[in-house]
Amino acid sequence: MKSLLGKVLIIFIIGLSIFGYSKAFPFEEDGFKSGMTKKEVREILKTWNFNKIDEEEDLIRAYDTTKTAKRRFVFGFRNNKLFSLQKDFPPSMSNFIYLFNKFTLVYGKPTDSHSEISLNSSGETRSIMFWWRKKFEINQLSYNVFPNNDQLYTVVYIETIK
């Protein structure tokens, strides 16, 4: 029995290496799924009623232009397939703590963290970032303090297997 299982496993591994395995483990966030085309993302965005949608070669930015609205999504594409989604949130310490706790409950302790203080021509910038990993899905939580405003956002993205 052991040798049969071993042979099946070897055949499976050889099959993966011959045919290539480029599938990634998917994420789904607010109705957006990794692997969606730009056209599919655009269709869903119509139901969100953003004030502005900009496109570049591998990006779609959807956001509101009013000062009271804080919604902004940034979609990243590779080969016309969605692989990352950034969502901005109203920057506040209570929102940061809420999101940190949410990620910790779902994914456990962060797998990595980084903080820095930098100085540039517009003043001092402070940042703190945390990452959680689940198989090939990576979630990032970032809080940035700039001289004139703060920014709180999450990013979910996938690593592809080659």
Picking from 134, 144, 127, 86, the residue whose alpha carbon sits closest to that of residue 109 is 134
List, run by run, the mean pLDDT of 10-residue segments along the chain (162 residues).
41 36 64 93 93 93 83 92 91 93 93 92 91 88 91 80 40
Q: How many helices (H) and strands (E) does the chain have?
A: 3, 10
Which tokens go with 140? 């990032």
**Domain boundaries defined on the chain:** 23-158
Give the length of the chain.
162
In this prediction, residue 159 carries a pLDDT of: 62
**Rounded CA gap, 37 and 80, in Å?**
5
Predicted confidence at residue 66, as pLDDT, reads: 81
Structure confidence at residue 76 (pLDDT): 93
User: How much is the pLDDT for 8?
Assistant: 36
* 11 close to 3: Cβ distance less than 8 angstroms: no
